[in-house]
Amino acid sequence: MNTNHADPSDTTKTVSARISPIGGLDVLSRNEVAKLRGASDSGQHALLRRCALAVLTSGNISDDPRAILEQYPDFDIQVLQQDRGIKIELTNAPAQAFVDSQIIRGINELLVAVVRDIVYVSTQLEQIGADLDESSALTQGVFEILRNARILKPNIDPSLVVCWGGHSISRQEYDYTKAVGYQLGLRGLDICTGCGPGAMKGPMKGATIAHSKQRRRHNRYIGITEPGIIAAESPNPIVNHLVIMPDIEKRLEAFVRMGHGIIVFPGGVGTAEEILYLLGILLHPDNAGIPFPLVFTGPHESAAYFEQIDRFLRLSLGEEVAKHYQIIVDDPAKVAKTMVKGLDKVRQNRLDTKDAFFFNWALQIPLEFQQPFRPTHEAMRALQIHHGRPLHELAADLRRAFSGIVAGNVKEEGVQAIERNGPFDIDGDADIMRALDKLLQAFVAQHRMKLPGGAAYVPCYRVVTH
């Protein structure tokens, strides 16, 4: 029964309810339910509460990881074991998740995904005996999580396009992401993003209209997130398959293992992190010859943005890095056509190598891209950003530098570390540091670090430019 305490149109009000989960969740053991109840030593309940609240405020535009928790300090969620299955009990939940005292169906499904992934990662993944120092074991763990989420679909030709880009983008850039999504949808392609607002929502919105025009059913709008990000980037309402990976490294690996091609829209440090992650993998000698279409695109107003990204990549990783991506400005149809041609090559390569369409087993992802990076002040100072290193290793440390800035901007643990000890120091070769500082300053000037309308951005980093 739902107990409605307020008008659901008022987002400051709350609802308490006991709901039946819809789809995608098997019965839980008493032990699993116990792990999710109360404040356990493992911290699973706190994690469940934070992720559930993000889902219940789907569409929220704040990027402050603590703002939602402060807005709903009395919110709680409990998973109840009953003879016929489980119930999810919500106390003082955001009223915006309900209509006429009933939880919105899509939010119910996303809430089930939260419970499913937190239960699975905390209990089942440990039982596969994965050695966290072995690359193959970590990949197996990513596969197990995705399979448990039931989003690995066999017997479907390569059609999943991953779209990366910022949550804080201009209106022109957002409209452009919709236009690209529309062109992808007209060609029968599915969309996978980080599930948040901005460039993560636009492609799904455009594809939704195109899929409807084509009378295409069973469309996939996949959102892949992780606990440190979801509170700052609540899932957008279009996501119909949500997966919460345990950390950013497994999230990124899930993107490149599942996706058949990637489109990058304008963004900030999180987008730069994603770019360096993928390019670092593609630069590895073991991955030479594996087709992986990668397109950077935006409206004509964003041409300078991609020129800056291109210059930074060429300076830090060498001219050869540019052969792994195409830059297409202000032409959504060309982006979609380029991606379709790239996916044809992916399909033929998978057939030739007898690799699965639904999971890219052949791609070699080095351990340094898989092991979680905890961005402490010491770890950030210890990054080896120097010329002369193998390019994939340099890309890995550049990725970690951007990951640390993301943490300092929006992840609660990173924000608290900055408040205690001041900004992170990033050091390395002088020319790379100057280029990095210039790139980051451009991100700040273009409001790509924080959502417009909030407080002025205070850098959580200090680049040592010598």
User: What does pTM read for this prediction?
Assistant: 0.89
d(CA 249, CA 141): 12
d(CA 254, CA 200): 16
Residue 305: count other Cβ atoms within 10 Å of its Cβ. 24
CATH 3.40.50.450 domain residues, the chain? 153-365
On whether the CB atoms of residues 261 and 342 are closer than 8 A, the answer is yes
Q: What is the pLDDT of residue 6?
A: 42
Q: Is the pLDDT of residue 454 over 70?
A: no
Kindly indicate the confidence band of residue 328, based on its pLDDT and cuts at 50, 70 and 90.
Answer: very high
CATH 3.30.1850.10 domain residues, the chain? 2-118
Q: Backbone phi, then psi, for 80, in 5-degree steps?
A: -105, 130
CATH for 2-118 (3.30.1850.10, 3.30.870.10, 3.90.1150.10, 2.60.40.180): 3.30.1850.10
Terminal Cα-to-Cα distance of the chain (whole angstroms): 64
Q: What is the pLDDT of residue 219?
A: 95
Instruction: For 277-311, write each residue's pLDDT tens digit.
Output: 999 999 999 999 999 999 999 999 999 999 999 99
- What tokens appear for 225 in the block? 């997130």
Name which of 312, 196, 188 is nearest 251 in CA terms.
Answer: 196
Instruction: For 106-160, write each residue's pLDDT tens digit.
Output: 999 999 899 888 877 766 566 555 556 688 889 998 999 999 899 999 989 999 9
Q: Is the pLDDT of residue 5 over 90?
A: no
Give kind and range of the element (H or E) at residue 34: helix 30-36
d(CA 267, CA 264): 8
- What tokens appear for 31 in the block? 């032990």
Name which of 352, 111, 362, 127 is nearest 235 in CA terms.
Answer: 111
Q: What fold is seen in the domain 153-365?
A: Rossmann fold (3.40.50)
d(CA 116, CA 108): 12
